[in-house]
């Protein structure tokens, strides 16, 4: 199984890097496909608990949200309440009376599966007059650094957890250990500090450490949140699209909560600091 995981990663990582470097609509299209597949897996989990969410409607408005994020990012936040209203309107006029579970599963599918991941498109679209290495845009740099931090966290926690992990982290995910989580967080912070140093951020030891902690904690929480949903649904994996990894949600759970935090770190926190 580890070799299957490694081979899948060796295929997925270059594709992800190509999409990030390409940017623009290429990145958005690739990400839209991942979000579409991930939402399908989420709704399969929701249906296994007996709810009947507005699947097609939620999938549609989520794709609209992603298009707006790429074309008119300043209007992206306005799409969420409009899309949520549209979903509730659709459920109200179905032949079968919608339940609280139906509405909740639909809105969560929009928020968890569409709105939060949409920040990756907004993050990739960032641009500034600051000169970054290799003439890369601000958005490209932040996405690459965030991905590198998440990869370091995943690899570090998985490796150390397998080798020396003894203390269970949470009953939600019995295979996760305190030792693995701690080393994953340390790996994440190390990569963030390295990036902050080479990018010449102001107070790089503070900004890099803060960013690493944000990404590491958000990545772990995303992983545990998806594990909680799978545990409630009584399944081991959300899908089988990636050999050795499971479904899209199994592989992308660490990315759901990280993008909004990194986006606001880049657009609010860093600009407040004096230039170095």
Q: At CB < 8 A and 24+ separation, what contacts does 5-13 make? A: 5/244, 5/245, 6/244, 7/243, 7/244, 8/242, 8/243, 8/244, 8/245, 9/245, 12/242, 12/251, 13/151
What's the whole-number mean pLDDT along residues 4-32? Answer: 86
pLDDT of the residue at 13: 84
Smallest CA-to-CA distance from 202 within 143, 133, 270 is with: 270
Backbone angles phi, psi at 125, to 5 degrees: -85, -5
What's the whole-number mean pLDDT along residues 163-183? Answer: 88
Average pLDDT, rounded, for the chain: 90
% of the chain beyond a pLDDT of 90 = 66
Q: Is a pLDDT exceeding 80 seen at residue 132?
A: no
Q: Which residue has the higher pLDDT, 100 or 13?
A: 100
**176: three-class secondary structure by DSSP:** strand
> Could you read off the pLDDT of 45-94 as tens digits, one per residue?
999 988 999 999 999 999 999 999 999 999 999 999 999 999 999 998 88
pLDDT of the residue at 95: 82
Q: What are the C-alpha distances in Å from 25 to residues 36, 132, 209?
A: 16, 22, 32
Which residue stretches of 165-240 are H helix?
A: 178-198, 204-233
With cut-offs at 50, 70 and 90, classify the pLDDT of residue 158: confident
Strands 168-170, 173-177: pairing is antiparallel
Beta strands in the chain (DSSP E): 168-170, 173-177
Are 138 and 132 spatial neighbours (Cβ–Cβ below 8 Å)? yes
Smallest CA-to-CA distance from 144 within 262, 26, 267 is with: 262
DSSP assignment of 82-98 equals HHHHHHHHHHHTSSSPP
Smallest CA-to-CA distance from 142 within 267, 15, 16 is with: 267
Q: Is a pLDDT exceeding 70 seen at residue 154?
A: yes
With cut-offs at 50, 70 and 90, classify the pLDDT of residue 10: confident
Q: Is a pLDDT exceeding 70 seen at residue 236?
A: yes
CA quadruple 100, 228, 156, 33: dihedral sign: negative
pLDDT of the residue at 133: 73
Q: Is a pLDDT exceeding 80 seen at residue 1?
A: no
Answer whether 0.85 is exceeded by the pTM.
yes
> Could you read off the pLDDT of 237-266 as tens digits, one per residue?
776 666 555 788 888 889 999 999 999 999
């Amino acid at each position: 199984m580890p070799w299957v995981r490694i081979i899948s990663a060796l295929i997925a990582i270059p594709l992800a890097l190509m999409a990030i470097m390409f940017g623009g609509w290429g990145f958005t299209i690739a990400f839209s496909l991942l979000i579409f597949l991930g939402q399908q897996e989420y709704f399969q989990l929701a249906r296994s608990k007996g709810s009947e969410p507005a699947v097609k409607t939620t999938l549609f408005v989520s794709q609209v949200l992603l298009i707006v994020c790429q074309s008119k990012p300043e209007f992206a936040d306005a799409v969420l309440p409009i899309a949520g209203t549209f979903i509730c309107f659709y459920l109200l006029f179905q032949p079968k009376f919608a339940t609280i579970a139906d509405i909740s599963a639909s809105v969560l599918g929009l928020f968890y599966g569409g709105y939060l991941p949409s920040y990756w498109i907004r993050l990739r679209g960032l641009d500034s007059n600051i000169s970054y290495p290799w003439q890369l845009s601000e958005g490209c740099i932040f996405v690459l650094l965030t991905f590198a931090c998440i990869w370091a966290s995943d690899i570090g926690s998985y490796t150390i957890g397998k080798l020396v992990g003894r203390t269970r982290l949470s009953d939600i995910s019995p295979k996760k250990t305190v030792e693995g989580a701690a080393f994953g967080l340390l790996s994440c912070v190390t990569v963030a500090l390295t990036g902050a140093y080479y990018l010449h951020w102001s107070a790089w030891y503070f900004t890099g450490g803060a960013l690493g902690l944000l990404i590491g904690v958000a990545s772990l929480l995303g992983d545990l949140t998806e594990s909680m949903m799978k545990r409630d649904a009584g399944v081991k994996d959300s899908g089988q699209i990636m050999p050795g990894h499971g479904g899209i949600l199994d592989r992308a759970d660490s990315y759901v909560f990280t993008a909004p935090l990194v986006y606001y770190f880049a657009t609010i926190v860093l600009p407040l600091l004096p230039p170095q």
